[in-house]
Amino acid sequence: MSDVSITQSSVLASTGGQIITQFTAGAELTAGMFVYLDSSNIWQKVDADSATGTETTRVFGVVLNHGYTGQPVAVNARDSDFTIGGTVVAGTTYVASTNAGGICPRADLGSGDYVVNLGPATTTGKINLNPTATGTPI
Amino acid sequence: MSDLSITPSSVLCSSNAVIMVGQAGMELVAGDLIYLSFVGGYWERAGSSFLIPATVAIGWALNHAYAYQPISAMLSDPNFVPGATLVQGETYVVSPTEIIGVRAGKVCPVGDLGPTNYRCVVGVAISTTNLLVKTITTGTTG
């Protein structure tokens, strides 16, 4: 399998989404990217290859719009009815992939990869977004 | 003169900016001039060939959003970088430019407005790169 292919214009929080809006992008970020808040309160892409940004203490979320470096972005931190903007498999748990900012099924990760759960898909288009990190590699 | 040519990736507000976060009613890009529409409460591109009442909030889009996604609208900033080349001392306003009959969200010098265009001030250039932003919607033409 591979990363979920995101259509940026289709990424939408539900009315119950818990959205963080006061921080800026540390790189160009697009709608649907999986991100974490670094120690300078700047959003960075999550990468399952890296021990940095996959710690249990991080705040994680999915970008809801598009910002270049230094611009504000809105990040959905928790949303039980989140439209991810791509096709997912109901019942499958999605995680940060080894492509920075990308999302893939948990089963796609390999030895040495860090697990940051995004949440399980509830339908073919929605995820119960509740990001958590294990802080340890597989 | 003509509308400012804005590079979206270069649009940056200062730490003293006043920012509202709302919902886009259409695709918006960084550097667009936007207003809070009284229909639905969405942010949409502004244009001075249409009436924007004096009570309506107007601002600069700070990022890129598609319809119904969150958008950050900057309402004032003492040191805003709009991502375009400015004329120091010039007053900038909402341009009357339209794209196929739809407001384009562009910026132009105040001298470019015609007598039927509505006056919405969006900043004064304090250098060739930075604007003092205090948005003012007058609701009147010149």
What would the pLDDT profile of B42-54 be if each residue is shown by its tens digit? 999 999 988 888 8
pLDDT surpasses 90 at B142: no
Q: A7 in contact with B at a CB cutoff of 8 Å?
A: no
Taking the CA of residue A26 and the nearest CA in chain B, the distance in Å comes to 13
Three-state secondary structure of chain A: CCCCCCCHHHCECCCCCEEECCCEECCCECCCCEEEECCCCEEEECCCCCCCCCCCCCCEEEECCEECCCCECCEEEEEEEEECCCCCCCCCEEEECCCCCCEEEHHHCCCCCEEEEEEEECCCCEEEECCEEEEEEC
What is the pLDDT confidence band of residue B40, given thresholds at 50, 70 and 90? confident
Selected residues 94-123 of chain B with any CB under 8 Å from a CB in chain A: none
Task: Give pLDDT, residue B101.
Answer: 74
pLDDT one-digit tens code per residue, A99-118: 999 999 999 999 999 999 99
Task: Give pLDDT, residue A128.
Answer: 97
Q: A12 in contact with B at a CB cutoff of 8 Å?
A: yes
Average of pLDDT values for B133-138? 92
3-state helix, strand, coil in chain B (%, to 5): 5, 45, 50
* pTM over cut 0.80: yes
Average of pLDDT values for B114-128? 95
